[in-house]
Amino acid sequence: MNFLAITMEELPSVFMRLGEGMLTTFQIFFLTFVLSLPLGLIVAFGRMSKNAIIRNITKLYISVMRGTPLMLQIIVVFFGPNLIFGLSVSTNYRLPATIIAFVINYAAYFAEIYRGGIESMEKGQYEAADILGFSKSQTFIRIILPQVIKRVLPSITNEAITLVKDTSLAFTISVTEMFTAAERIAAAETSMVPYAVAAVFYYVFNYAVAFAMERIEKSFNYYKS
Amino acid sequence: MSILEIKHLTKSFGENEVLKDINMTVNRGQVVSVIGPSGSGKSTLLRCATTLEKADGGEISYDGITMIKDGKYADKNAMKKIKQKFGLVFQSFNLFPHMSILRNITEAPVCVLGMKKEQAEKEAMELLEKMGLGDKADSYPFQLSGGQQQRVSIARALAMHPDVLFFDEPTSALDPELTGEILKVIRELAEEKMTMVIVTHEIVFAREVSDYVVFMDNGYIVEEGDAHKVINNPQSDRLQLFLSKFNQ
């Protein structure tokens, strides 16, 4: 009873103090998502390029991004300019560094998802478009891409959900997103409550993401391939 | 007046010589059927004629415009012009699944030919009515039977006003009871003097609908001529053997 009473007392203030962290978490998620989705498509083109140099560079990039921890990538992007090039870095760089690291990391995953979707397209779709006289870019934009989007949406949803939880890795370079904020309060007040609030926040956030993605997937249900 | 002229056409896939010295002329208003066993090269011939495969050597010209000569293709602009001379109906339809039936037909006239949307839709509706699918304009391909999808794909090809329409085994992916509706459409087009080249397994239909039959085997045209003569009275052993399998 005592524990519960304290908890109920604490909740509003914990919530208030976590508010800013929530906003930062949302910012990392949103910017990463909207920037890495188009960048991933460009990377996918590089990965499928007929030019061997472009293709191999892209392949190496994807391999490094997927083969090393995101936490390490965040550290490299944040400390790299100073430690490698001797540039002075302001503390304002923390959030941009986080977003850069997230975007280049997630673009690599999205690129492979797009590639899978593009390569799953039947040859007949390209041939039909070719015979009808569509140019290469018309074929891609009007015929291939809309079908690819439908096919990759479930995988994109998966990545989006992982991304919500990955935002907590910004903790590594002390960006005060949700998790960092919760950790600070928890340490200062020796309480589990901030963590519990954080857990609920991540869960609700992901629930909303899954719900939104499901709506988008449903909007493509008007046809079957 | 010839619309399509093919001379000494050759094509190999690696070591495998699929087309060996093919010569063929298609005249305006003519219906030509190409028959032959699997692997005879008939589909490859059609794919070379429609630029889906690159020929290795020989000559192809449409309406006097050279598409390929001695293995060299015309420049981009000429190719664009040539591509508007022909249409192709695929064995597996290849409709665009994410577009309505109407848009499947209007998309190319609008985007490629620059036709006004209203005009393209008017023409598409006329074509759909002709195919007996006037009520399917707002449907999507997955909602249609195979035979209906194939009729849409014929309408889609016709919407581009091709001079010659190719068919690549248009009934092979269909249940036997659905092939009739496709053959009926082709027969009607033949009556309207549409120039057509049909790769087909339907020997009886080929004899009935076409003016001219080409029999291919092993990369060569073995026998050709008037449809009734060639099919009723084959001269070569190879064609006699091939046709005997259909008469059992």
Residue A115 domain boundaries: 17-121+154-218
Q: Mean of the per-residue pLDDT values for chain A? A: 91
Residue B144 domain boundaries: 101-155
Please tell me the predicted confidence (pLDDT) of residue A11. 75
| Number of independent structural domains in chain A | 1
Residue B147 in domain: yes
Q: Of A83-92, B74-83, B108-117, which gets the smallest average pLDDT?
A: A83-92
Please tell me the predicted confidence (pLDDT) of residue A2. 52
| Number of independent structural domains in chain B | 1
Residue A131 in domain: no
Smallest CA–CA distance, residue A114 to chain B, in Å, is 18
CB contact under 8 A, A225 and B111: no
In angstroms, rounded to a whole number, what is the distance separating the alpha carbons of residues A116 and A148?
A: 9
Residue B107 in domain: yes
Residue B133 in domain: yes
Q: Looking at chain B, list the stretches that DSSP marks H as alpha helix, in order from N- to C-terminal side.
A: 42-49, 76-83, 101-111, 117-130, 146-158, 176-191, 203-209, 227-232, 237-244
Q: Chain B: residue nearest A148 by CA?
A: B98
Residue A127 in domain: no
Q: What is the ipTM of this complex?
A: 0.94
* pLDDT tens readout for residues B160-204: 999 999 999 998 888 888 888 888 899 999 999 999 999 998 888
What average pLDDT does range A45-64 have in this prediction?
96
Residue A224 in domain: no
Residue A161 in domain: yes
* pLDDT tens readout for residues A98-144: 999 999 999 999 999 999 999 999 999 999 999 999 999 999 999 99
B interface mutation test: which of A132, A135, A222 has the most B CBs within 10 A? A132
Task: Say whether pLDDT at A217 is over 80.
Answer: yes
Query: What is the model's pTM?
Result: 0.89
Which residues from chain B sit within 8 angstroms of residue A150, using beta carbons?
98
Q: Mean of the per-residue pLDDT values for chain B? A: 92
* pLDDT tens readout for residues A183-207: 888 888 888 888 888 899 999 999 9
Q: Chain A: residue nearest B81 by CA?
A: A133
Please tell me the predicted confidence (pLDDT) of residue A1. 45
Residue B144 in domain: yes
CATH number at residue A167: 1.10.3720.10
Residue A47 in domain: yes
Q: Taking an 8 Å Cβ-Cβ cutoff, which residues of chain A contact chain B?
A: 122, 124-125, 127-128, 130-134, 138, 142-143, 146-147, 150, 222-225
* pLDDT tens readout for residues A63-86: 999 999 999 999 999 998 888 887
What percentage of chain A exceeds 70 in pLDDT? 96
Please tell me the predicted confidence (pLDDT) of residue A4. 56
Pairing assessment for the beta strands B195-199 and B164-168 based on DSSP bridges:
parallel
What average pLDDT does range B47-52 have in this prediction?
94
Task: Say whether pLDDT at A14 is over 80.
Answer: no
Residue A89 in domain: yes
What percentage of chain B exceeds 90 in pLDDT? 80
Residue B121 in domain: yes
Smallest CA–CA distance, residue A111 to chain B, in Å, is 23
Q: Of A1-5, A30-34, A106-110, A156-160, which gets the smallest average pLDDT?
A: A1-5
| Facing A132 at nearest CB: one of B92, B112, B142 | B112
Please tell me the predicted confidence (pLDDT) of residue A85. 83
Phi/psi of residue B2, each to 5°?
A: -85, 140
Task: Identify which of B95, B123, B96 has the alpha carbon closest to the alpha carbon of residue B109.
Answer: B123
Smallest CA–CA distance, residue B142 to chain A, in Å, is 6
